Amino acid sequence: MDIRLTTEARRRLVAVVMAASVAFTVASCGGEEGNEKVNDSPKASSGQSKEPTGETSEKPDSEEILAQVKGADGIVVTINSADRDSGGFITVNGQVENTGDKIFVAGEWRGQETELLKNGASTAGAVLVDKQGKKKYFVLRDTDGGCLCTTGLTVKAGQKVPIFAQFPAPPEDVTEVDFQLPTMPPATIAISG
């Protein structure tokens, strides 16, 4: 039987999966899947970047801010939490603010893998990099290849939109990772939990 889900149905399914047990997600992703060795190349290690595409800064505010990255056209990504769950995954939560004057569609943030293209404008291309273990962790997916992340991501000028992405968790002794979205500089964030 072929069951196809609408975008809204997929969002609801993702919410149910997140609220329920992670067992299904972990089982479908397997042990080492989603992990990729990374090179020892020197990159922005403190989350600070002077590249023309954006700059990174950490700033205190009334709500907790782990990191904030600024990209082209007035796009600002704020990371508010990176929570480790006992089920073996990390959920990164934050928001995208469009301080520019034109609509932002996160098409480039979905990643380049063929399977990710069907997620549309999303945070499916986000990665966590464990510099200590030299591994890269990709966004978790359901059995149909749908990301466990924000989809339908369009931000009007002057608007803030919440975002999230779930990843396999690095080992317990890893307390800090780099979070990166395509086209944006990396941001070093602390893992809680």
Per-residue pLDDT of 22-49, as tens digits, reads: 333 333 344 444 444 444 333 333 333 3
Q: Looking at residue 188, what is its pLDDT?
A: 96
Q: Looking at residue 113, what is its pLDDT?
A: 75
pTM listed for this prediction? 0.68
- For the purposes of burial, counting CB atoms within 10 Å of the CB of 133, is it exposed (0-12), middle (13-18) or buried (19 or more)? middle
Taking the domains of the chain in order of start, what are their residue ranges?
7-190
Per-residue pLDDT of 76-89, as tens digits, reads: 999 999 999 988 99
In sign, the C-alpha dihedral spanning 21, 37, 113, 32 is negative
Q: Average pLDDT for residues 87-115, to the nearest whole number?
A: 90
Average pLDDT, the chain: 75
Q: Average pLDDT for residues 53-61, to the nearest whole number?
A: 39
8 A C-beta contact, residue 91 and residue 164: yes
Tell me which of 60 and 88 has the higher pLDDT. 88
Q: Looking at residue 178, what is its pLDDT?
A: 97
Residue 73 has a CB neighbour count (10 Å cut-off) of: 13
Predicted confidence (pLDDT) at residue 64 exceeds the cutoff of 80? yes
DSSP secondary structure of the chain: ------HHHHHHHHHHHHHS-SHHHHHHH-SSTTEEE-------SSS----TT-EEE----SS--SEEEE-GGGEEEEEEEEEEETTTEEEEEEEEEE-SSS-EE-GGGG-SSHHHHTT-SBSTT-EEEETTTTEEEEPPB-TTS-BSB-BS-EE-TT-EEEEEEEEEPPPTT--EEEEE-TTS--EEEE-B-
Per-residue pLDDT of 127-171, as tens digits, reads: 999 998 999 999 999 888 889 999 999 999 999 999 999 999 999
Q: Average pLDDT for residues 99-114, to the nearest whole number?
A: 87
